[in-house]
Amino acid sequence: MGIPHLLTHLQPYAVETPLTGTSLIIDGPSLAYHIWHLCSRTQDARPSYALLIKACIAWLNALQSHDTKITAIYFDGFLPPSKRPVRMDRLLKTTLKLRQLHQANPASCPEQYINEVDDITTFRKASDQRREPAHIPAFLVPAILEGLRASPFQPLVRLVPGEADVYCAQHALDEGGCVITTDSDLLVHDLGSGSVIMFWSLNILSPDGTPVQTLSTPRFTPTDIAKRLNLDPSKGGLRRFAYELTLNPNISLPQIVEACSKPVPVGRQKVAFKKFCKPYAPFPEERIMLEAKEHAKKLAGKLDPRVSEMNLQAISFVTRFLPSTFDPEDRLEIVPEEPSIFLPTLLDCPARTSAWQESLYVREAALTVYHSCYPPRWTFAREFRRTLNVESKGTKIRVIDPHQSLPKLLDTLTGIFDNTAAIIGNHPEFILVAHFQLDKLYSEHNAETVKIFFGEPGEDKVLTSVREFLTRPQSSASPRDWTTVHLAAQLQATYYSWRFFHQILPLVRPAYHPSERYLILLEMMHDYFNKYLPPLTQFPTPSSTIETLYRLEAAGLIPNLPQAQNTPTAEPTAKKRKAAEISAKTRRVSSNPFAMLDEE
């Protein structure tokens, strides 16, 4: 995010200052992307999640070695619906980049997006030219968050019920300190005596890889900058400066200062200016800040940002934490009428249905379990995956009546997990093998209770893709082949869907289901996830997917589909894919009945 050209105009007013003795507040998402940029510039191959975490911790340790004190690292735990246009624009851009990557390389995915590196000894200085790969790691932020929670920096991590930059600004206003970010919006917040540093200006290491002797960097102090520019606080100050710049991005600095010297606009312009300033206002009441922080402490121990966001939508965050003086329009901007989930863009084949589709029923089951505890009742939620239209309403996902089918669902799931444990015990691919068993159950069983959760016959599942993939000899399987890339993305989506389920379970309030049997089933599910669900660093890659699937097949751990589904569907599936490939090249509507799901 950020305000275009704001840094360009204010850069001359930043003061080069040593960081020795400075209290630092870190914008977590900006930290994650900064580390990714550093690792991407030093390697031709793709940095693994393990490398990104290792690099992040090394970078923070190097920062602290200069006698600085990191006081907090904030991560987004909730983004209001008012941010949806920005999110949709980002989703569109990542989708288009993925399509362009595929169109430029239709035969196979470029090697640098497939090969992973796990070792790094140094970073290049931040002034090196930035390289912008076509695809950002799908789980970049949750992976960094997961790594920090398992590191000595864990006590400093804050997953907050709002936007990270807002909490960074409030922290600086309340306690002083310097915010490190890549978001120029921080300069428009009221920071009091606080200041802002941009990640890209921090050269922690010298060009030869050794630590610099004195860490010095340009520091932006908004109150001082406003005084030097003679910006009158009664006329909007630095916020007015930013507002005038958004109205005319090509205006010169003297022209902006001249516009800011005039009285605050009236009429429609006054309303527009007030709306512009709203996101940068401090918290209206200290009590609200404290209650929100306490709530975050209870829920944010192991949650990913997307799970936290879904949860805060569900528990009527607006009712609990916003004062009654907020008008209805403000409330609607903060909490939507229905929960929305923005899923990360996987490195999959854009000529096919989104790789998230085959594991949809796992997320539906998770939402059903969660939904059973938090009124008001929903009939559906919305998922946003890939999109070619910023006006897209997303994909509706079912939230099934939990009182009708929840016990049967949990019985089915725990039964599958029990059976898998009896067969393979403590196996590294336990979750994957159990998921294959669920897919097989779906393909064999037409009972209504099964269809409620697993979908109607004809809907593809991961096992269908795996069985088709295994028809070829292992020697001909390539990690660069788009079929392999897409299958690896399907497996990543499957694992993350179970991770989503796992993180939801501790949020379920057992008071709504006093049945002892229900509580036992929930505890059993939670124990299985704790024991067998892998961290993000162990999620499948295209290379590991080939090795894993052929190893499981040799061990007899991948079930066969019924003959009626196994053979006859091969030809239609191929036809669907051919049609999808043609669609990707010609931009015509695909005959694939799920093609519209690509524009979510």
* CATH number of the CATH domain containing 123: 3.40.50.1010
Q: Which domain holds residue 541?
A: 342-571+594-598
The gap between the terminal CA atoms of the chain, to the nearest Å, is 22
pLDDT band at 75 (very low <50, low <70, confident <90, very high): very high
Using CA atoms, how far apart are residues 392 and 394, in angstroms rounded to an integer?
A: 5
pTM exceeds 0.85: yes
Residue 355 lies in a domain: yes
Q: Where are the alpha helices (DSSP H) in 150-188?
A: 164-175
Q: Please state the φ and ψ torsions of residue 256, each to the nearest 5 degrees.
A: -65, -45
Report how far residue 42's alpha carbon sits from residue 194's, in angstroms, rounded to the nearest whole number: 33
Please state the φ and ψ torsions of residue 46, each to the nearest 5 degrees: -80, 130
Q: Is 195 part of a structural domain of the chain?
A: yes
Within a domain: 308: no
477 and 495: one domain?
Answer: yes
Could you identify the residue written with the tokens 């799970």? 307
The per-residue pLDDT for 537 is 97
Residue 199 is classified by DSSP as: G
Give, as one character, the DSSP assignment of residue 257: H
Answer yes or no: do 518 and 423 share one domain. Answer: yes
- My answer on whether 197 and 140 are in the same domain is yes
Residue bearing the bigger pLDDT, 280 or 537: 537
Segment 165-181 shows an average pLDDT of 95
Same-domain check for residues 243 and 209: no
Percent pLDDT > 70 in the chain is 77
**Low-confidence winner among 208-217, 393-402, 431-440, 461-470 (lowest mean pLDDT):** 208-217
Q: Is position 360 within any domain? A: yes
Asked, for residue 328, whether it belongs to a domain, the answer is no
Asked if residue 217 and residue 86 are part of one domain, the reply reads: yes
Q: What is the pLDDT of residue 410?
A: 86
Q: In 5-44, which ranges are continuous DSSP H helix? A: 6-10, 28-42
- Same domain assignment for residues 424 and 506: yes
Residues 116 and 246 in one domain: no
d(CA 414, CA 522): 9
Q: How far apart are CA 423 and CA 282, in angstroms?
A: 57
Q: What's the rounded Cα separation, in Å, for the pair 327 and 145?
A: 35
Residues 54 and 200 in one domain: yes
Quote the number of domains for the chain: 3
Q: Is residue 401 part of a domain?
A: yes
Helix (H) or strand (E) holding 71: strand 69-76
Least confident of 16-30, 71-85, 360-374: 360-374
Q: Which residue has the tokens 């960094």?
A: 144
**For the chain, how big is the Rg over CA atoms in Å?**
25
- Taking phi over 0 as left and psi of -120 to 50 as alpha, with beta for the rest, 526 belongs to alpha
Q: How far apart are CA 171 and CA 194, in angstroms?
A: 9
CA angle 461, 546, 494 (to 5 degrees): 35
- Nearest to 359, CA basis, from 374, 343, 372, 373: 343
Residue 167 located in a structural domain? yes
